[in-house]
Homo-oligomer: A and B are copies of this chain.
Amino acid sequence: MSDMTSTADAPRSPGRPRSLRADEAIIEATLDLLAEGSTIEALSIEAIASRAGVGKATIYRRWAGKDALLLDALRRLKGILPQPEGHSLRDDLILLVGAIGKNVDPRASKIMPCLVPEVNRSPDHFRLYQNIISPRRQLMREVLRRGISEGLLRPDIDIEVTMALLTGPMLIQRVLQWNPELDEQTLPEQVVDAVLAGILTR
């Protein structure tokens, strides 16, 4: 969606070709500014152009406006999916939980909180957000299903609820800074163990 004339489509038009370095510089400048704390709407085309060392026209030649540019820029943040090994259910879950909100691009963790209001406001951004996280949910779903079919997990559990149980604590801590008492480092392991075992006396 919304690719505009994003450079590098085929039919070889006459004249000077678009600069690939400009594309790159614009996207990078956008992500940098967001990571430095600018809100989405405080972000201005003028600031992006200046940071990228680029004329405003060069941006408008490629994208219709801020939203289209943002959509393309944020797509860059899709990190690599973690790869559960499949040996140990517990290890796989810890891996997946630990990967929540972690991304190849270190700017992502600063940017994510800024997107929360947009996701609640704009259907486009909501779709983008779901597109990014739903493969990760799918991965966890498969690990849990495997756990059930191997007899490790109770077959009557609600998988969606269980995923929320595993994901929620990590997400509120990383995105909402929910409880300063919690240690993000050890949290994945603690969460997985608590969910697996429950807290009732035996």
Contacts and interface: CB of A to CB of B under 8 A. Distances in A.
Contacts of A172: 164, 167-168, 171-172
Interface string A159-175: 01111110111111101
A106 to B, nearest CB: 15
Contacts of A151: 201
Copies in the complex: 2
Interface stretch (A46-54, A65-73, A80-88, A112-120): A112-120
A169 B179 contact: no
Contacts of A1: none
A9 interface: no
Among A114, A160, A170, A173, find the residue whose CB has the most chain B CB atoms closer than 10 A: A160
B182 A160 contact: yes
A199 B93 CA distance: 13
15 contacts: A113-B117, A113-B120, A154-B202, A157-B199, A158-B194, A162-B199, A164-B191, A165-B169, A165-B191, A168-B168, A168-B170, A194-B195, A196-B199, A197-B200, A198-B200
Nearest to A120: B113
Size class of the A contact interface (CB-based, 8 Å): 35 or more
Interface in A118-173: 119-121, 126, 130, 133, 137, 151-154, 157-158, 160-165, 167-173
Contacts of A201: 151-154
Interface of A: 37, 39, 41-42, 113-114, 116-117, 119-121, 126, 130, 133, 137, 151-154, 157-158, 160-165, 167-173, 175-182, 187, 190-191, 194-202
